[in-house]
Amino acid sequence: MNKSPEIQILPLRDRASLPKRMTEGAAGFDLAAALDEPMVLEPGARASVPTGLAMAIPPGFEGQVRPRSGLARRHGISLVNAPGTIDSDYRGEVSVLLINLGQEPFRIQSGERIAQIVIAPVAAPTIKIVESLPDSERGSGGFGSTGR
């Protein structure tokens, strides 16, 4: 079994909450808002919500910031850029780009879990220019071409 990567966390604000896995089998760590005062996300609006955390993700890994399914189901809260990527060389504050796809204003308070982060390996392939591509069963069939 491979050793799990170590993620170094630097709290930047007093209100910052450390990422937390809510169950032993959870793939992601919940990220919480770190706000000086509550904010309201109106229907259709989007906002960059700070977590108050900076982190060092080791080379060969990324942090995938994803929506929380409970917030999506109950309130229509998602991420504008789902999943968002935290690169291994980024050292600034992690913010979450939330969007309210629901029909009611959504109030965000400091400490509220707003997203999750999954640490995943990243392949670093080389790019090769070719004259043609190898054949495949699907070929160039696009959206909906597999009939499913």
CATH value at residue 35:
2.70.40.10
**Could you tell me if residue 5 is inside a domain?**
no
- On whether the pTM is more than 0.85, the answer is yes
**Could you tell me if residue 23 is inside a domain?**
yes
For the residues 63-77, what does the mean pLDDT come to? 96
Q: Which of 122, 51, 115 is nearest to 89 (CA)?
A: 122
pLDDT at 21 exceeding the cut of 90 = yes
Does residue 45 contact residue 96 with C-beta atoms inside 8 Å?
Answer: no
Q: What percent of the chain has pLDDT over 90?
A: 86
Overall domain count for the chain: 1
**Could you tell me if residue 57 is inside a domain?**
yes
User: Rounded to the nearest 5°, which phi and psi values hold at 72?
Assistant: -65, -45
CA distance 61 to 59: 5
pLDDT in tens, 89-110: 999 999 999 999 999 999 999 9
pLDDT at 28 exceeding the cut of 70 = yes
Domain residues for the domain of 69 are 10-121
**Could you tell me if residue 2 is inside a domain?**
no
Average pLDDT, the chain: 93
pLDDT in tens, 115-138: 999 999 999 999 999 999 999 888
CA distance 19 to 32: 7
**Could you tell me if residue 32 is inside a domain?**
yes
